[in-house]
Chains A and B, each alone.
Chain A
């Protein structure tokens, strides 16, 4: 009976070890994240803005599209926290509901570009050879067009509106995602566990989705956090020049554009949307940096 108990004991210890190791890896990451003060500031900013946007119905009781010509161009006061715009609409409500559009479009566009980028990038990186050459060549060409210009051309083609804007931005962001995923997949492909999976008879698709991509999750998380900020910037930039999301739909860029004619006389219509855009970008940048440092300490430079 002795050998069996010994074996069991060994197994038990091993299982303990692996579970504690897995546990401590995530705990390590969270710990590193927690210790990064700037990152926590970023997280706090993002969390507060997200909360405000999600709870917009509660924190901003005045409807964002309610016009009141008796109350145009009001400076911030107790009823209208951030004042009113040129139609007498409440700026606080408009900015919070506008944030919903901005963030919604940003998240959708990042998801699309990650999805398409994952397919293209993992195909190119995993199979290599001619397929890789063709895909990277095409990506190079698309990347040669500055993202903003490509987004301008595509969203002029598709027309305005949240979904079309998301598409335009995702297309211009897709080559970057595909490139990142390609290089990550190429690095992972050389590992023994991929070879082992192939040796046990897994098909290529299964190897990619079950073994390769889950190991590429860290750079993907970092990439998506960073590019949500970039997408918000792109959306508000597009809306600002008259593409993207158009008034009367509130969006940070389009609110800013609406305030532009009043740059001489009425500052709240420019300052508040500007602050919202800047703070959100700052939050995502800081949090993204911290995530990168926490998830991959080797990457930290």
Chain B
């Protein structure tokens, strides 16, 4: 009779075990790479979820924080020899500071203005880094290659450690999301998302809570950037501040289902597999067929199921409930 709660739990357990065993079983680096990308974007999609899903403010420029995380980590490593883990922390702090500087003026205006402001900020920061000698300008920075170790966050013989670190980070962000969702903070966020004016009239300081949400998103996204820098070992403004990163993060969350925890994860699995799959299978023709299919699918999904895959799955489950009770009876 409590089958409804145990089936997902058992399923999750199996999934977790599967994920843990995956790199031991599939040792080819390319599939591992795809999984790492999935974890990374799922993590950043969940990060976006806080400002976009819970608090309901659309940010289209999260690559700003991705890049800040990446650059902070690399520069601290290059100039002070600090471990990338320290860099990650400092990067997150930088990201929060920038998000506050942007957030404070922009949260006084609504919806689309904020969205465009985030895009503008993305471009501004990218331009600054492109013209800044100290961080390598347009040339970017080759990350100093260190002996392989956990402290150095660099591994050369196998991708498996990167895989586990990414998975660990993802799990951490999942837990954080769940916590936020259930906490008072999450309650305030959702109130703001539902009706800003009503929330204000209830005495909620909406600017303050929007900024908290945005700061959290910024910090978590920057962690992704820091990880990326140690994974690819080369960064430049074009690759870490790319608008395509900002958009992919949003798409992952929206496709999967905003405001849910499973949403960004599902979204990431689908979009990353799609993007990598179409490129590998079709990309060699040079006629952009793979990107066209990607665009078509994105449109189709938005039209057919705007609330995301999670909503679609939920809509399938509900009508079955009456039948479920009958089947559950004679279960062992």
Do A and B form a real pair?
Answer: no
